[in-house]
Amino acid sequence: MEINEIIQQRKAKLEALKAKGVAVYDKPFANRLDIIEVINNFQEGKKVIVAGRITAKRLHGKVVFVDLRDSTGRIQLYIKSDFIGQEKFDILDNIEVADFMAVTGELFKTHTAEPTVKVESFQVLSKALRPLPEKWHGLKDVEVRYRQRYLDIISNEEVKKVFILRSQIIRSLRQGLDDKGFLEVETPMMHNIPGGAAGRPFKTHHNEYDIDLFLRIAPELYLKRLLVAGLDKVYEINRSFRNEGVSIKHNPEFTMLEVYAAYANYEQMMHLCESLIVGACQQVFAKMVFSFAGKQIDLTPPWKRISFAELVKEKFGIMPSDDEAAMLEKLKKKGFAKEKDRLSRTQINKVIEDTLEQDANVNPTFVTDYYTSLCPLAKTKKDDPLISERFELFVAGMEVANAYSELNDPIEQKNRFQEEIKEGNETGNKVIDEDYVLALEHGMPPAGGLGIGIDRLVMLLTDQQSIRDVILFPLLRPVEQ
């Protein structure tokens, strides 16, 4: 049957319900129990009220069996004309799979020991004008799954489970920080100057002030202003935006956890990062070994550490003191760049990082000793100004976290910003964030900062190979009309 024909039939049944005086959409309903609560606390003969969506309907003469589902579970309904009266029973002819209803009745178990509600009365709560996808067997078209996530979740319990786990992981991270005395804050999502990370921003315009604004690429500079303000331990679970490519690891809108602690450094952030993720694994999953893309990942601490500077030296022959031309020449000699390539420092570093990602260990690994030229907001090592106090956490070849000892010298920070602008940063921004420099001039304590990619962490812990599978409503191209 064509979809338009199904819709017309359902509209006809809606009109039939209205003709019988059944109010379909305007009844609130709050006095109910979650289905899982009913099942877990089952008592023969107990009277209950439950509500949900119909997922199956079976007619046996004067008896109708219905499967009713809410967000917590499913229960069977037993509806008999002798119990509710023929007039009420006839209404069931116009109630179908996908509709919502509420019922009152007594609990009993069938001869197959299935918990069931013997319905004494019911109410129609909502009429669905379209059927559930593929008769409840799930969506096969990946594009439709992402565009109509509500149908994906309705028809696929595993998809729903991923998003429930995502919420639990975030709750565990939040609780871990709260227990350590961190304060959760909110900072602006619209910035006058894009900063805090390398990335191309989305641009918008505020009509009242007649100014251009940018969706944030990171909340970092605002969070560090709060360190200046005397809030020593802060964090934000934030939405950030990058106007860049889309892949299985990248979505233009993504979720980050950013944490800042005064009087700390990148070593303490390393311990914090490890403890937060391990804590989430224990609390949500009660295990340390996970399967991801067919590989076994063991998150049992302590995690391995390796040096970026040493890796780059071994693989490419590149040294921290090399300038842009020398780095490019060495990449060409090793076959990682073509002779005709004219790459900027940012592009050279992208080649290096992508190559190292492919070679990364499966188990969690802290990569330390990044070049200072890659870290405009990080402190340098006392014994080597060409190396910064920074780490990135890689798991199964994916960068999951980034942290460093925060640069709190306003003079050095301004010089770094000027150097970025001179070299041409990825944002295309030609303006120094003078207000941030001003904040540093008022004095910022030594601090450590940490960013954890929530989407990628959820991917790893739930064995999802695409970031779109852990974001409820990922950005997609418009449907061609």
Residue 136 pLDDT: 42
Nearest-angstrom CA–CA distance, 184 and 231: 11
DSSP-derived 3-state class of residue 205: strand
* Strands in 28-137 per DSSP E: 47-60, 63-69, 74-80, 100-109, 115-126
Q: Are 368 and 447 in a shared domain?
A: yes
Report the candidate in 299, 275, 291, 183 with the shortest Cα–Cα distance to residue 236: 183
Average pLDDT over residues 41-69: 95
One DSSP character per residue, 223-262 reads: HHHHHHTT--EEEEEEEEE--S---SS--SEEEEEEEEEE
Residue 133 pLDDT: 80
Q: Is the pLDDT of residue 186 over 90?
A: yes
Q: Are 355 and 334 in contact (CB under 8 A)?
A: no
Report the candidate in 41, 21, 95, 98 with the shortest Cα–Cα distance to residue 64: 95
Q: Are 275 and 412 in a shared domain?
A: yes
Residue 27 pLDDT: 73
In a domain, 186, yes or no: yes
Instruction: Give the model confidence (pLDDT) of 263-285 as tens digits.
Output: 999 999 999 999 999 999 999 99
Q: Are 127 and 182 in a shared domain?
A: no
- Residue 148 class from Cβ within 10 Å (0-12 exposed, 13-18 middle, 19+ buried)? middle
Give how far Cα 398 sits from Cα of 237, 304, 377, 395, Å.
20, 15, 22, 5
Average pLDDT over residues 213-232: 97
Q: Is the pLDDT of residue 429 over 80?
A: no
- CATH code of the domain in which 76 resides: 2.40.50.140
In a domain, 171, yes or no: yes
Last residue of a domain, one of 131, 165, 200: 131
376 or 47: whose pLDDT is higher? 47
Q: Which string of b and e fits 307-337 if b means at least 16 CB within 10 Å?
A: ebbebbeeebebebebebeebbebbeeeebb
Q: Are 244 and 125 in a shared domain?
A: no
Average pLDDT over residues 103-121: 96
Phi and psi at 394, nearest 5°, equal -115, 135
Question: What is the torsional sign of CA 37, 38, 39, 45?
Answer: positive
Question: What is the torsional sign of CA 468, 472, 474, 476?
Answer: positive
In a domain, 143, yes or no: no
Reported as a pLDDT band with limits 50, 70 and 90, residue 286 is very high
Report the candidate in 51, 31, 47 with the shortest Cα–Cα distance to residue 102: 51
Tallying the residues shown for the chain, one arrives at: 481
In a domain, 349, yes or no: no
Q: Are 19 and 82 in a shared domain?
A: yes
Q: Are 169 and 122 in a shared domain?
A: no
Q: Does the pTM of the predicted model rise above 0.85?
A: yes
Q: Are 122 and 89 in contact (CB under 8 A)?
A: no
Q: Are 385 and 424 in a shared domain?
A: yes
Specify the range with the lowest mean pLDDT, choosing from 127-141, 313-327, 389-403, 443-457.
127-141
Say how many Å lie between the first and final Cα of the chain, rounded. Answer: 24
In a domain, 436, yes or no: yes
Average pLDDT over residues 443-450: 98
In a domain, 399, yes or no: yes
Reported as a pLDDT band with limits 50, 70 and 90, residue 140 is low
In a domain, 332, yes or no: no
Angle at which helix 220-228 crosses helix 434-441, to 10 degrees, equals 20
Average pLDDT over residues 130-143: 68
Nearest-angstrom CA–CA distance, 132 and 118: 25
Average pLDDT over residues 333-350: 81
Last residue of a domain, one of 99, 131, 163: 131
Q: Are 460 and 367 in a shared domain?
A: yes
Q: Are 127 and 208 in a shared domain?
A: no
Q: Are 29 and 75 in a shared domain?
A: yes
Domain boundaries, position 55: 3-131
Beta strand 380-381 with 384-388: parallel, antiparallel or unpaired?
antiparallel
| Tokens matching residue 193 | 């100057």
In a domain, 56, yes or no: yes
Residue 265 pLDDT: 97
Reported as a pLDDT band with limits 50, 70 and 90, residue 135 is very low
Looking at the 3D structure of the chain, how many domains does it have? 2
Specify the range with the lowest mean pLDDT, choosing from 2-11, 126-135, 354-363, 410-419.
354-363
Q: Are 15 and 93 in a shared domain?
A: yes
Instruction: Give the model confidence (pLDDT) of 196-212 as tens digits.
Output: 888 889 999 999 999 99
Last residue of a domain, one of 74, 97, 131: 131
Residue 71 pLDDT: 93
Average pLDDT of every residue of the chain: 91
- CATH code of the domain in which 408 resides: 3.30.930.10
Average pLDDT over residues 10-21: 95
233 or 134: whose pLDDT is higher? 233
Q: Are 89 and 181 in a shared domain?
A: no
